[in-house]
């Protein structure tokens, strides 16, 4: 056997090992085609897969396995809601980080600190940019890397059991999940209409006010300000009347904010910070896990019901 043939055989063996990242059924249907495409695109004489090919196969296999494990046959309406999540969540995360460092507030940090934190905000937008470029595997990988980075930082800083920090981490996890199982932000752009934007504006204004992205120091009584927020929310109720609106609200808002359920413990005489570290983590992260699990069951149930009707 010639040296070129030996190189090709060694390369094919290594590609087939990487192919095990995908489920067996997927390999049976698409395996030979994938191997053929990879071998055809590899320069002659190369004996090992390139790093980009290895990462692409690992990311693609992870996406297929997670999609099948968690969602089964994904309901198109849930798929669209998750696609919109990949567009909204990164922007929301970046805005919250921006506001947190004081860049949207009257008094901000020093210029040096602001520049450093601006770089962090830019990193948080990387998954969105990659998704818009239709690089879904890289976008999902970037979102997972960002989540791991933030979890490590939270543990190192002793903030992993902080209610506000936990909501932030859950939103990052939601973003990563949505990027893995949905068509991504490029598809989400095709779903946006003028009507949807109009229905969303009151919610966006209300959320911006409550998050203090919009200044809250107006020369009006507190009762008037709170009433105005309530009216803004009521004006946007038609958005939640649609299935897509309800699903998006659940994914973007209710799942991350369910970590705040732990703060209700004070009303029943239980001091959250007096609990053991393990109990604190359970109180913070079990509610969003439970909501996410129920959402996955609902996403799987939809297609089955439609098949039964048909």
Q: Answer whether residue 59 shows pLDDT above 80.
A: no
Q: Answer whether residue 238 shows pLDDT above 60.
A: yes
Distance, CA of 105 to CA of 111 (rounded, Å): 14
Per-residue pLDDT averaged across 43-53, rounded? 77
Given pLDDT bands bounded at 50, 70 and 90, which one contains residue 309? very low
φ, ψ dihedrals at 248, nearest 5°: -65, -40
Q: Mean pLDDT across the chain, nearest whole number?
A: 77
Q: Answer whether residue 202 shows pLDDT above 80.
A: no
User: What is the reported pLDDT for 300?
Assistant: 64
CB 167 within 8 A of CB 174: no
Given pLDDT bands bounded at 50, 70 and 90, which one contains residue 10? confident
Distance, CA of 196 to CA of 224 (rounded, Å): 28
* Cα dihedral 170→175→176→180 (10° resolution): 140
Per-residue pLDDT averaged across 1-20, rounded? 76
pLDDT: which is higher, 110 or 18 = 18
Q: Answer whether residue 212 shows pLDDT above 70.
A: no
Per-residue pLDDT averaged across 243-261, rounded? 85
Q: Answer whether residue 70 shows pLDDT above 70.
A: no
Structural domain spans, the chain: 3-49, 72-192+236-304
User: What is the reported pLDDT for 308?
Assistant: 38
Percent residues over pLDDT 70 in the chain: 71
Start-to-end C-alpha separation, the chain: 57
Q: Answer whether residue 175 shows pLDDT above 90.
A: yes
Q: Answer whether residue 79 shows pLDDT above 70.
A: yes
Q: Answer whether residue 106 shows pLDDT above 60.
A: no
What residues have CB less than 8 Å from 79, skipping those under 6 apart?
181, 182, 183
Q: Answer whether residue 107 shows pLDDT above 60.
A: no
Given pLDDT bands bounded at 50, 70 and 90, which one contains residue 307? very low
Distance, CA of 120 to CA of 194 (rounded, Å): 32
Q: How far is CA 178 from CA 40, 71, 92, in A?
A: 32, 11, 14
Per-residue pLDDT averaged across 140-163, rounded? 88
User: What is the reported pLDDT for 2?
Assistant: 61
Q: Answer whether residue 65 shows pLDDT above 80.
A: no
Q: Answer whether residue 111 shows pLDDT above 60.
A: no
Q: Answer whether residue 129 shows pLDDT above 90.
A: yes
User: What is the reported pLDDT for 100?
Assistant: 61
Token reading at 287 = 């509610």
Q: Answer whether residue 268 shows pLDDT above 80.
A: no
């Amino acid at each position: 056997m010639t040296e070129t043939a030996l190189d090709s055989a060694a390369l094919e063996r290594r590609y087939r090992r990487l192919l095990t990242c995908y489920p067996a059924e997927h390999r049976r249907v698409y395996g030979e085609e994938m191997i053929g495409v990879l071998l055809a695109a590899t320069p002659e004489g190369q004996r090992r897969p390139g790093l980009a090919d290895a990462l692409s196969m690992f990311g693609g296999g992870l996406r297929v396995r997670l999609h099948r494990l968690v969602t089964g046959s994904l309901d198109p309406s849930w798929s669209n809601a998750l696609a919109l999540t990949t567009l909204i969540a990164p922007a929301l995360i970046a805005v919250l980080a921006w506001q947190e460092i004081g860049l949207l507030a009257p008094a901000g940090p020093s210029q040096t600190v602001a520049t450093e934190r601006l770089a962090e905000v830019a990193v948080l937008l990387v998954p969105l940019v990659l998704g818009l470029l239709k690089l879904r595997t890289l976008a999902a990988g970037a979102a997972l890397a960002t989540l791991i980075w933030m979890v490590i930082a939270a543990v190192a800083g002793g903030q992993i059991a902080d209610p506000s920090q936990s909501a932030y981490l859950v939103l990052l996890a939601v973003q990563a999940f949505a990027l893995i199982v949905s068509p991504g932000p490029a598809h989400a752009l095709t779903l946006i209409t003028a009507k949807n934007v109009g229905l969303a504006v009151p919610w966006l204004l209300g959320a911006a006010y409550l998050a203090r992205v919009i200044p809250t120091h107006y020369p009006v009584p507190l009762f008037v300000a709170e009433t105005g927020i309530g009216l803004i929310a009521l004006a946007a109720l038609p958005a939640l009347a649609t299935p897509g609106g309800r699903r998006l609200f659940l994914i973007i808002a209710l799942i991350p904010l369910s970590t705040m359920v732990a703060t209700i413990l004070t009303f029943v005489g239980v001091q959250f910070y007096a609990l053991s570290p393990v109990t604190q983590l359970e109180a913070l992260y079990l509610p969003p896990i439970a909501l996410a699990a129920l959402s996955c069951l609902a996403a799987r149930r939809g297609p089955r019901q439609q098949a039964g009707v048909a």
